[in-house]
Structure 1
Amino acid sequence: MKLFSFEHDEGTEVVIARNAKDAVIHYFTKYQDDIVTDDLMSATEDGIKISEIQGDALLVKRSIFDEELNNQIEISYQDMIDEYKGTVPDVIICPNY
């Protein structure tokens, strides 16, 4: 599994997928609707930056809000990949509004 970051002015979503193509298709066709995508693209000069999360960035412990626990937890992206039991591709981190 791989992690891909979709970064924009409203925040960052992290998608778990087998490859970049699966991540992009899922993000734009299943996760975001057309209106949200249009808003994200027009609200920023930079649009959406898509990158794979690799190397040391996978190992850094981060404070992330866990919806199931309704609390902040300290976890690395690698731990999230190792513990993930859902169907891929999937958005595993999204902005907290």
Structure 2
Amino acid sequence: MADELFKALADATRRTILDELAQRSGQTLFEICARLSTRHDLGMSRQAVSQHLAVLEAAGLVETRREGRYKFHDLNTAPLEHIAERWTRPDDHQERRS
């Protein structure tokens, strides 16, 4: 899981998407595309943004939910907390691995 997380965070566009979801969670693909275009001058196709969201979802950083015909994207920070714990509490990590 850590490999997917680091891969997801390695891309600047994906970090920008996470920044946007941190400011306002529960956005549709259309809303994310609009915010990337207007706030960050990132004119990307919906397909490209969707692919970035798929990588973020595979890493556990984005969760989706459907309401009717709309799909909403929410930020999930739990994977980041697990990574931070790995190095901030190394004794606990060692005990879990034993």
> Comparing both chains, which one has the higher relative contact order based on Cα–Cα distances under 8 Å and sequence gaps of 6 or more?
1
TM-score (norm 2): 0.29
Q: Which has the higher strand share?
A: 1
TM-score for both structures, normalised by structure 1: 0.30
